[in-house]
Chain A
Amino acid sequence: EAQVTQNPRYLITVTGKKLTVTCSQNMNHEYMSWYRQDPGLGLRQIYYSMNVEVTDKGDVPEGYKVSRKEKRNFPLILESPSPNQTSLYFCASSSQSPSSYNEQFFGPGTRLTVL
């Protein structure tokens, strides 16, 4: 089954404790992206990757890191989480660039709470 998986689905942590949210897709997609969803703000793009070893900042990259060492994986790293990073996070992937108007497939989301 074609899918984007994220782990963990739920995470409660404390300020300053490094964490990683994993994202994996099995569709051989070149493009992968991370979003955060907050009430009243919709979805905002954090980082995206056009292909292996190619990443770029979205609208809200501060406090986040990403890496793309393999095509299928695109982990989101919070080196020193803070309470304002409490949010619902989504990973998404699509074939080629979204400029090719291809559909983005979204993961089920990770709800992160930073105390």
Chain B
Amino acid sequence: GNSVTQMEGPVTLSEEAFLTINCTYTATGYPSLFWYVQYPGEGLQLLLKATKADDKGSNKGFEATYRKETTSFHLEKGSVQVSDSAVYFCALIVRTGNQFYFGTGTSLTVIP
């Protein structure tokens, strides 16, 4: 089947620290991969995406590379800010399907 596994949170970092949130997946077909961010009290927003192997998605200083060999799509940022505090969701959809599959979410808190 299709599923997404994210590292458990919560994650607490100091401002300017390096961030990695791990995401691995299983898919019956060829997936597209996404990171969504949810700020407190809001709906989800697309952060970045990658549609084929070795693609790198990037946005707002965040990056993730689609690694087919390790079935991973880890989220990274070199220097986090307090405003990055949010819940981050990894997600996938396979090309032949119409369903999205989300991970459980990772809560990030950045302290000054």
User: Interface of A with B (CB < 8 Å)?
Assistant: 4, 31, 33, 35, 40-45, 48, 50, 56, 58-59, 90, 92, 97-99, 101, 103-104, 106-109
Given contacts A4-B43, A42-B89, A108-B42, contact A99 B103 (CB under 8 A): no
What residues of chain B lie closer than 8 Å to A44, measured between beta carbons?
A: 102
Closest A residue to B105 by beta carbon equals: A42
- B99–A59 contact, CB under 8 A? yes
- A104–B46 contact, CB under 8 A? yes
Q: How far is the CA of A90 from the CA of B105 in the complex (A)?
A: 15
Q: How large is the interface on B (under 10, 10 to 19, 20 to 34, 35 or more residues)?
A: 20 to 34
What residues of chain B lie closer than 8 Å to A58, measured between beta carbons?
A: 99
| A48 → chain B closest CB, angstroms | 6
Can you list 12 A-B pairs with a CB-CB distance of less than 8 A? A42-B102, A43-B102, A56-B98, A90-B44, A97-B98, A98-B93, A99-B94, A101-B32, A101-B49, A104-B46, A104-B100, A106-B45
Kindly name the residue among B45, B94, B104 whose own CB sees the greatest number of chain A CB atoms within 10 A: B104
